[in-house]
Structure formats: C-alpha cells, structure tokens
C-alpha cells in the first residue's frame, strides 16, 4: 500500500478518488506547496492546460515553481489536458515554458486527462516509496573514471603534464624516483616531453617551497610555458 497526500483543493478534480481506485491510501489535507506529496521530498504541482496559462498570465506560476524547488527534493510539474492549443497562450510558448521549467530541475510530466494523472501519481508514489534495485544497462549507469596511480598523479601535478605524459615518463624510467633523479635532457627523450615541459618538471622538483605562495611554479602556465 502506497500513500499519497492530496491537497484538499484537489478533491473536486476527481484525481484523489481515482487514486483510491488504484489501491492508493489518500490523505487529504491543506498543502502549502504543491498539490500531491507522493513520497519523502517528492511533490507534484498539477496544472490543467488552462490553469497553467492562467497562472502564467497572472504571475503565480513562477512563484509556485520557486516554492516547489525550495521544498521538494523531487519536484514535478504535471500538465494535464488533451491539447496545448487550448487557451490564449500558444502551444509553442508553452513548449518554451516546459523547457524553462525543466532547466530549473523540475521534471515535467504530460497527462491527457484525470485518469492518466492518477496513473502518473500512482507510479511516482510506488517509485519513491518502494525503491528497489534495478538492473540497468551499462550505458545508463554513471561513468566512474579510474583513478591514476599515485606516481602518475604526482607527475601529472606539474602544469602542462597530462596523466598520459606522466605514464610515458614512468614507463620509460620505471619509477617515480628514477624520473626525479633523471636530468631534463633525459626527460626529453620521452615522446611528448619537450624543452618547455622538461623545464616545468624541473621547476616542480627543484624549486624551493615558500609558505606565502600557493605553488612553487605559479608563474608557469598550464601548457608548461612561462606566464607573461
């Protein structure tokens, strides 16, 4: 059993009653933000197409969206109606509004009628109240970049030295200690390390540390050249 809190002003719409027909336990109360609470921090603002346009014309919509973003962890705007062309504001303008709201991090859902609205609310409530582990294909999973080896990271800390170049140095010399003890001419025997990069490495290894400076080679730009 999932629970949905419905604003008392939503009772005439018939949506709460349809939710109960879907075996949803509906609690009716006066909500300060949104029309339905479908889970912890998940709030839905329901707007018919005409109500959406009226709210926009009268300046209420962006205030409601602002409050929704402040309070909800999962903010939703559900637009209900068979056609966006119904009303004084063009459908193209409403599509622009849709994108603007989405850019603010509010998920926009589209419903054709009360029945579909209830189905959306039910699905949201199930998802937010009964989370389950889902097997997702690899392309939908968060990409985690492999961390470089500490020795690679140490070499790559020098401006203009990428992890790829640091790895090439380590491959050539065998260890971080051997890289450090080599001279600039030997460094330049590695592909990708020219005079500027070898000078940057030399500065990083041999410059004395000063507590009043954020870095001992702050005068060197990221490409290994001296800043002007």
- Is residue 208 a part of any domain in this protein? yes
Q: Rg of the chain over CA atoms, in angstroms?
A: 29
| CATH code, domain with 111 | 3.40.50.10130
CB atoms within 10 A of CB 157: 12
Give the sign of the dihedral formed by CA 68, CA 11, CA 31, CA 74: negative
Could you tell me if 211 and 168 lie in one domain?
yes
Could you tell me if 168 and 111 lie in one domain?
no
- Is residue 192 a part of any domain in this protein? yes
pLDDT above 60 for 226 = no
Q: CA–CA separation, 166 vs 164, rounded Å? A: 5
Angle at CA 90, nearest 5°, toward 86 and 91? 75
Residue of higher predicted confidence among 70 and 171: 70
Domain limit, last residue, from 76, 107, 131: 131
Specify the number of domains making up the chain.
2
| CATH code, domain with 154 | 1.10.150.20
pLDDT value of residue 228: 44
pLDDT value of residue 214: 45
Q: What is the pLDDT of residues 80-131, one digit of tens each?
A: 998 888 888 888 988 999 999 999 999 999 999 999 999 999 999 999 998 6
> 114 near 21, Cβ under 8 Å?
no
pLDDT value of residue 199: 79
Could you tell me if 119 and 193 lie in one domain?
no
Could you tell me if 112 and 214 lie in one domain?
no
The order of strands in the sheet holding 2-7 is 24-29, 2-7, 36-39, 42-48, 74-80, 107-111
- Is residue 94 a part of any domain in this protein? yes
Confidence of residue 155 (pLDDT cuts 50, 70, 90): low
The helices-and-strands tally (H runs, E runs) of the chain is 10, 6
Could you tell me if 159 and 73 lie in one domain?
no
pLDDT value of residue 105: 94
In DSSP terms, 6 is beta-bridged to: 28, 36
pLDDT above 50 for 142 = yes
Q: For the whole model, what pTM was predicted?
A: 0.59
Q: What is the pLDDT of residues 203-220, one digit of tens each?
A: 776 766 555 544 444 444
Q: CA–CA separation, 190 vs 170, rounded Å? A: 10
As a whole number, mean pLDDT of residues 171-195 equals 81
Could you tell me if 12 and 89 lie in one domain?
yes
> 167 near 152, Cβ under 8 Å?
yes
Could you tell me if 62 and 123 lie in one domain?
yes
- Is residue 170 a part of any domain in this protein? yes
Q: What is the pLDDT of residues 22-81, one digit of tens each?
A: 999 999 999 999 999 999 999 999 999 999 999 999 989 999 999 999 999 999 999 999
Could you tell me if 98 and 179 lie in one domain?
no
Locate 114 and state its tokens. Answer: 């009360």
Could you tell me if 95 and 163 lie in one domain?
no
Could you tell me if 182 and 215 lie in one domain?
yes
Could you tell me if 21 and 89 lie in one domain?
yes
- Is residue 160 a part of any domain in this protein? yes
Identify the residue whose tokens are 């559900």: 78
| Domain span including residue 110 | 2-131
- Is residue 102 a part of any domain in this protein? yes
Could you tell me if 21 and 103 lie in one domain?
yes
Q: CA–CA separation, 114 vs 179, rounded Å? A: 70
């Amino acid at each position: 059993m999932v629970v949905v809190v419905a604003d008392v002003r939503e009772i005439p719409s018939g949506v709460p009653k349809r939710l109960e027909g879907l075996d949803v336990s509906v609690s009716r109360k006066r909500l300060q933000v949104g029309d339905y609470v479908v889970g912890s921090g998940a709030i839905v603002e329901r707007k018919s197409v005409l109500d959406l346009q009226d709210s926009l014309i009268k300046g209420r919509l962006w205030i409601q969206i602002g409050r929704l973003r402040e309070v909800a962890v999962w903010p939703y705007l559900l637009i209900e109606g068979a056609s966006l062309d119904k009303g004084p504001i063009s459908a193209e303008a409403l599509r622009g509004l849709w994108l603007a709201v989405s850019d603010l991090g509010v998920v926009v859902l589209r419903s054709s009628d009360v029945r579909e609205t209830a189905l959306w609310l039910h699905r949201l409530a199930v998802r937010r109240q009964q989370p389950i582990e889902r097997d997702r294909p690899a392309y939908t999973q968060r990409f985690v970049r492999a961390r470089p080896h500490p020795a690679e990271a140490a070499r790559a800390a020098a401006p203009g030295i990428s992890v790829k170049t640091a790895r090439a140095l380590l491959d050539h010399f065998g260890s971080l200690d051997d890289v450090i003890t080599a001279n600039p001419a030997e460094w330049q025997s590695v592909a990708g390390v020219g005079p500027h990069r070898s000078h940057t490495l030399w500065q990083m290894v041999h410059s004395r540390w000063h507590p009043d400076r954020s870095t001992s080679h702050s005068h060197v730009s990221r490409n290994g050249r001296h800043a002007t």
